[in-house]
Amino acid sequence: MEKIIRELLVKIGEDPDREGLLKTPARVKKTYEFLTKGYQEDPKAILSGAIFHEQCNHMIIVDDIEFYSMCEHHMLPFFGKCHIGYISKNKIYGVSKIVRVVECFSRRLQVQERMTQQVARILMDTIGAEGVGVVIEAQHLCMMMRGVEKQNSRMLTSAMLGSFHDDHPTRDEFLHLIKKR
């Protein structure tokens, strides 16, 4: 990877041997390994280590989960917040594992639409929840730094499964509870 980064520097017109760029290929390699570490993680394994049996069948929400990801089209960052709600059937997740699943999917080359669906589906399937709702709001540097150059735009995506999809009052309660105060 370092060789490729060095070649890239030459292709864009830089001198990879100048002082400020000598360690850049190694730094970029390390950065990309961190930004794409989600490929080395198994979201099912993350969740399976923290499923607890509880007499619980009400809505559980974890909101404002910050994330950073990379757009698969331009390899530029997009970042924002993920809001998750689920209704269990007597099984709950350890709360940190929900956050780790968001981190796992966000640390891959992504599109926001897919990431939203991936988070919802894995949470729904792993404990057989009655329903799951996921809303992601993000800003995309591929729209801010290039192309249309719109600094204040953000993208909202949602995935509603089970009772969050079928039951309007459940969906409305979730959306009301995550609405910014």
What is d(CA 104, CA 98) in angstroms, rounded to the nearest whole number?
10
Q: Name the H helices within the chain.
A: 2-11, 24-35, 43-48, 95-106, 112-127, 141-144, 163-166, 168-178
Phi (first) and psi of residue 82, to 5 degrees = -115, 135
Any binding-site annotation on 82?
A: no
- Give the per-residue pLDDT at 149: 87
Any binding-site annotation on 142?
A: yes
What is d(CA 59, CA 163) in angstroms, rounded to the nearest whole number?
11
134-143 pLDDT tens trace: 999 999 999 9
The 3-state DSSP class for residue 35 equals: helix
What is d(CA 134, CA 30) in angstroms, rounded to the nearest whole number?
31
Catalytic positions: 71-74, 112, 140, 142
What is d(CA 142, CA 22) in angstroms, rounded to the nearest whole number?
27
* Sign (positive or negative) of CA dihedral 46, 48, 53, 57: positive
Predicted TM-score (pTM) of this structure: 0.93
125-134 pLDDT tens trace: 998 999 999 9
Is 44-178 assigned to CATH 3.30.1130.10? yes
97 contacts 88 by C-beta, under 8 angstroms: no
Domain with CATH 3.30.1130.10 in the chain: 44-178
Summarize the confidence of residues 116-132 as an average pLDDT. Answer: 96
Any binding-site annotation on 74?
A: yes
- Give the per-residue pLDDT at 181: 53
